[in-house]
Amino acid sequence: MRLTRRYRFCASHRLHAPQLGVEENRALYGKCNNPHGHGHNYVLEVSVRGPVDETTGLVANTTVLDRLVARDVLAPFDHANLNLQAPAFRTSVPTTENLALEISRRLLRDWSSSFPAGTKLEKIRLHETGRNIFELLVEQE
């Protein structure tokens, strides 16, 4: 069974790779390389996969999932400048691809202590714009 929960947060960023020159960054990232940055109203979908618990009838406790996402994703990223306020992006470009990877890392830190062994984080889907949607299939042991 798969359960998907949707969350929203707003954040700003500037796409700029310090190892590339000014013209390379401008050519690669276009308007997203604006020195003042720009913002997005992100929509995050977190998909959980596992068996339905015979006692509760649930694949995952949504209250537990909501708390985990609120603490590890929404609190640090909502209304943040990712370049300046998120330590993970001090050394990497805060593309939405890298943001999805960071979200999965954060959720996986406490996953096993939050959910039963058979319940897995399956997928992160991150909507940056109406046209740009990034999907990360999470590999778990």
Q: Which residues are catalytic?
A: 32, 79, 128
H-assigned helices in the chain? 22-29, 62-69, 75-77, 82-85, 96-109, 111-114
- Strand order of the sheet with strand 80-81? 80-81, 2-13, 38-49, 120-127, 133-137
